[in-house]
A = this chain, B = another copy of it.
């Protein structure tokens, strides 16, 4: 998994019907890459998060065949 920080949110009015209705958050990874992730746990901008990628992200939504390849799976505790 990859560590990163939430840097923003994106919106779309035209998308596949199979997209879950959760927020699409922009995450800047610790390595400097920017990825768009689905967020189902309610993260805010600035929050440190753990992201899983690939088909395991979609597998969290077996009933709707979600076309997502990146999902926030945890908010990281920071001292």
* Total count of chain A residues near the partner, CB < 8 A: 45
Number of copies: 5
Task: Give me the interface of A with B, judged by CB distance under 8 Å.
Answer: 1-3, 10-16, 18-19, 24, 30-31, 33-37, 40-41, 50, 52-60, 62, 65-71, 73-77
Query: 18 A-B residue contacts at CB 8 Å?
Result: A13-B75, A14-B74, A15-B74, A16-B73, A19-B74, A31-B34, A53-B69, A54-B54, A55-B55, A55-B56, A55-B59, A56-B58, A57-B67, A58-B59, A59-B67, A62-B65, A67-B71, A68-B73
Interchain CB contact under 8 A, B67 and A41: no
CA distance A24 to B2 in the complex (A): 11
